[in-house]
Structures are given as C-alpha cells and as structure tokens.
Amino acid sequence: MTAFVPALTGLATSRVNLPFAMAARVADATSNGRLCVTAVTSAGRLAAFPGVFIVAEVGLPGCALEGWHGICWSAGIPRTTVKRLNAAASQAVRTEAFQRQVAEEGITIVSELPA
C-alpha cells in the first residue's frame, strides 16, 4: 500500500485523475467510499469487485491488461528439477488459503508446465 499512497493523495487533492492500481491496493479505499472503481483491466470481472465492469464492457472492446509473475531459476537447471519445482508450486497454488489470498488481491492464477 505504501507505494500507492502518493496516488491516493493525488486523487484526494485532484492532482491525479486516473491511476492504475492492483485491486488489493484500493480495496479498503473503495469499501469505505473514498474511491470509486470505474472499471478493471482484466479480461473478466474480478471476485474482489464483482459489480465493476471490465474495460471491454465500457468502450474498449478487446482491451485487457494482465500482469505476469513467474518462478525463475538459473539456466541449465536439470529438467527433472524443473518438473519437481513446478509440481510443488502447482500444488501450493491450489490450496484454499492461497486461492483465498490471491482472490482478495484480484489475481487469477494460471499454472502450467514451463516449456
């Protein structure tokens, strides 16, 4: 939240008109009425903001901005190790606790085996 504070201050003082932020960064401010979310940039509606339109629904058809996070390691790591690490990560992201946490942050998980 700390990095987003200047944007919130800018909104409150009308110095910033339209910031982009992760859902988790603005959830508190929207729940208490300090901010209004006009649209989300994902391809589908977010569980964190079920009543908020996606940008494709409000005039930008085909538009979606998605973030990417990955698990990285050194080049040359044995393929068997990659498969083992991927299996462990895939199992972790399927846990109820993890799913709940990422849903609160507006994140959708896609887990797949690296090429």
Q: What does the domain layout of the chain look like in residue ranges?
A: 2-58, 68-115
In this prediction, residue 114 carries a pLDDT of: 60
Label residue 4 by pLDDT band (50, 70, 90). low
pLDDT in tens, 11-65: 777 777 766 777 777 777 777 777 778 888 888 888 778 888 999 999 988 888 7
Q: What is the pTM of this model?
A: 0.55
DSSP per-residue letters across 35-102: ----EE-SSS--TTSTTSEEGGGGT-TT------------TT--HHHHHHHHHHHHHHHTSHHHHHHH
